Amino acid sequence: MVQLVFVHGVATRSGPGYAQGLANRDALFRKVAFEGREVTILSPLWGDLVPSINPKVFGTDEGVRSFSIGAPVGDGQTGGLGGAPGPGGADLAAVARQNPTVAIDAVFAQAVGTADSAGVELTAEDLAAFRLAARAIESDDAPARVGAAATDADLARSLGDLGANSFGIGSRLANAVSVVSGRIRNTASTVAFGTVRDFISPAVGMFLGDVFAYLQQGRLRDRIQEVVRTDLVQAHEASLSGKGPVVVVAHSMGGVILSDMLQDLAASGLPADLQIAALFTVGSQPGLFKAVGVLSGSAGPDGKTPRPACVGAWFNVFDPIDPLAFRADALYSGVDDLAFDSVTGLASAHTTYFSRPQFHARFRRRLADLSVI
Judgement on whether residues 293 and 226 belong to the same structural domain of the protein = yes
Q: In this structure, is residue 99 part of a structural domain?
A: yes
Q: Which of 133, 150, 185 is the last residue of a domain?
A: 185
Judgement on whether residues 43 and 164 belong to the same structural domain of the protein = no
Judgement on whether residues 238 and 314 belong to the same structural domain of the protein = yes
Q: In this structure, is residue 311 part of a structural domain?
A: yes
Q: Identify whether the C-beta of residue 363 lies closer than 8 Å to the C-beta of residue 33.
A: yes
Q: Which of 154, 185, 216 is the last residue of a domain?
A: 185
List the pLDDT tens digit at each of the 373 positions of the chain: 999 999 999 888 998 889 999 999 999 999 999 999 999 999 999 999 987 766 666 566 566 665 555 554 444 433 332 333 334 456 788 888 888 888 888 888 888 988 998 999 998 888 988 898 898 888 876 666 677 778 877 777 777 655 434 444 456 777 888 888 777 666 544 334 344 444 444 556 566 667 767 777 678 889 999 999 999 999 999 999 999 999 999 999 999 999 999 999 999 999 999 999 999 999 999 998 898 888 878 888 888 999 999 999 999 999 888 888 999 999 999 999 999 876 656 557 888 899 999 999 999 999 999 999 9
Judgement on whether residues 107 and 160 belong to the same structural domain of the protein = yes
Q: In this structure, is residue 221 part of a structural domain?
A: yes
Judgement on whether residues 181 and 329 belong to the same structural domain of the protein = no
Judgement on whether residues 174 and 198 belong to the same structural domain of the protein = no
Judgement on whether residues 265 and 223 belong to the same structural domain of the protein = yes
Judgement on whether residues 288 and 359 belong to the same structural domain of the protein = yes
- CA distances for 370 relative to 58, 187, 251, 278, 279, angstroms: 44, 40, 21, 8, 12
CA distance linking residue 43 with residue 110, whole number of Å: 23
Chain CA centroid to CA 341, Å? 13
The predicted pLDDT at position 251 comes to 97
Judgement on whether residues 272 and 293 belong to the same structural domain of the protein = yes
CATH of the domain at 247: 3.40.50.1820
Q: In this structure, is residue 78 part of a structural domain?
A: no
Q: In this structure, is residue 48 part of a structural domain?
A: yes
Q: Which of 185, 203, 230 is the last residue of a domain?
A: 185
Give the residue numbers spanning the domain of 97: 87-185
Choose among 293, 295, 219: nearest CA to 253. 295
Q: In this structure, is residue 62 part of a structural domain?
A: no
Q: In this structure, is residue 69 part of a structural domain?
A: no
**CB atoms near residue 26 (< 10 Å):** 16
Judgement on whether residues 176 and 259 belong to the same structural domain of the protein = no
How many degrees, rounded to 5, is the angle at CA 271 between CA 269 and CA 277? 120
CA distance linking residue 92 with residue 108, whole number of Å: 13
**CB atoms near residue 242 (< 10 Å):** 7
Choose among 158, 139, 142: nearest CA to 150. 158
pTM of the model: 0.83
Phi, psi of 109 (to 5 degrees): -60, -40
Judgement on whether residues 365 and 333 belong to the same structural domain of the protein = yes
The total domain count for the chain is 2
Phi, psi of 87 (to 5 degrees): -65, 105
Judgement on whether residues 173 and 198 belong to the same structural domain of the protein = no
Q: In this structure, is residue 309 part of a structural domain?
A: yes
